[in-house]
């Protein structure tokens, strides 16, 4: 077991991981504001974006850019600052550092150097969307962004198809329609899903339905704002439905009736699952 190394606060600095609002500035906590004010340096994913936040809360701490393209160069510089006793506050554009944003490598480097890492609680889009989604909040898994290319995305989804926890993904509004189609292809049309966009903002919206329903909606509507996509966990019903489709139509109807459905309900469900007209299923079932 690895413990955080002891440190002397008078001679070595500390790294603060500071969450920032995902939309509504009122979600910024007093502790986060004070941490940014008291830091020696703010390591920012996008200094222009963070400057708007700093201006709003009258924070004058200088920034240094820290993102996926320069983290290898920046980390040794930050460790040098911290070893001199300085305080660094790291922020991403929105939400928690390291969650689909830069930060993890800096945390690892600080731990290896015996520098204390302090995470402040605050907004994170995935959990916020989960608890209002209507899908089971536990267990859940967080994936983040899927691969962009269809082939790679399909391969990733095949591995996740039978995962039982609710799954949380982030997606661009420009790719969400194609991604939903890929989910429908791999997971099946009837898997429940929720798209949440513009979290904590004026036009916050939750779109709830099956994958095929959401796909139909997106064919006619264009979304704006970053999206959280939540997918119901695997229940085993998909496999059961596939096995049932291999039965003769009359046996399939009988199976549903024996499960508690009325004959009318069973005929309607079999017609839906097989893409047939109810009249055709009725005739097949009532053949002597």
**Quick check: 199 and 173 in contact, CB under 8 A?**
no
Which homologous superfamily is 126-235 in? Tetrapyrrole methylase, C-terminal domain (3.30.950.10)
Q: How confident is the model at residue 280 (pLDDT cuts 50, 70, 90)?
A: confident
Lowest mean pLDDT across 117-121, 218-222, 232-236: 232-236
Q: State the average pLDDT for the chain.
A: 90
> Position of tokens 């609002």?
21
CA dihedral sign, ordered 254, 260, 261, 262: positive
Q: Is the pLDDT of residue 166 over 60?
A: yes
64, 82 contact by CB (below 8 A): no
Mean pLDDT within 16-25:
96
End-to-end CA distance of the chain: 71
Give the per-residue pLDDT at 62: 98
CATH number for region 14-122: 3.40.1010.10
Token look-up 């962009």 returns 148
Confidence bin at 243 (pLDDT 50/70/90): low
Provide the whole-model pTM: 0.76
pLDDT recorded at residue 238: 59
Q: Identify the weakest region by mean pLDDT among 5-14, 176-185, 239-248, 256-265.
A: 5-14
Mean pLDDT of 234-253: 72
More reliable by pLDDT, 92 or 283: 92
Token pair 């190394």 in the structure block, residue: 5
Give mean pLDDT, residues 143-167: 94
Q: Are 96 and 120 in contact (CB under 8 A)?
A: no
Does 94 or 2 have the greater pLDDT score?
94
Is residue 9 pLDDT above 90, yes or no? no
- Tokens encoding 58: 């009258």
Q: What is the pLDDT of residue 266?
A: 82
Q: What is the mean pLDDT of residues 210-221?
A: 95
Residue at token pair 């994170």: 124
Domain with CATH 3.30.950.10 in the chain: 126-235
Domain(s) of CATH 3.40.1010.10: residues in the chain: 14-122
pLDDT at 7 over 70: no
């Amino acid at each position: 077991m690895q413990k955080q190394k002891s440190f002397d606060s008078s001679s070595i600095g500390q790294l603060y991981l500071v969450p920032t609002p995902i939309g509504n500035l009122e979600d910024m906590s007093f502790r986060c504001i004070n941490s940014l004010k008291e830091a020696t340096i703010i390591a920012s994913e996008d200094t222009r974006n963070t400057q708007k936040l700093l201006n709003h809360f009258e924070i004058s701490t200088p920034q240094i850019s820290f993102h996926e393209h320069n983290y290898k160069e920046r980390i040794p510089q930050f460790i040098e600052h911290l070893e001199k006793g300085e305080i660094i506050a790291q922020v991403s554009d929105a939400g928690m550092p390291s969650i689909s944003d830069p930060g993890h490598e800096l945390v690892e480097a600080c731990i290896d150097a015996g520098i204390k890492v302090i995470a402040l609680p605050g907004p994170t889009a995935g959990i916020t969307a989960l608890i209002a989604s209507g899908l089971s909040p536990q267990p859940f898994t967080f994936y983040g962004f899927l691969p962009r290319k269809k082939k790679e995305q399909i391969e990733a989804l095949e591995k996740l198809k039978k995962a039982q926890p609710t799954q949380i993904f982030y997606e661009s509004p420009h790719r969400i329609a194609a991604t939903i189609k890929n989910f429908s292809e791999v997971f099946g049309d009837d898997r429940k899903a929720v798209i949440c966009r513009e979290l904590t903002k004026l036009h916050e919206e939750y779109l709830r339905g099956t994958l095929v329903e959401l796909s139909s909606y997106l064919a006619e509507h264009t979304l704006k704002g970053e999206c959280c996509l939540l997918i119901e966990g695997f229940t085993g019903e998909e496999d059961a439905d596939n096995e049932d489709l291999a039965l003769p139509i009359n046996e399939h109807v009988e199976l549903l009736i024996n499960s508690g459905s009325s004959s009318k309900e069973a005929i309607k469900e079999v017609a839906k699952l097989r893409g047939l007209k109810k009249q055709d299923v009725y005739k097949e079932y009532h053949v002597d």
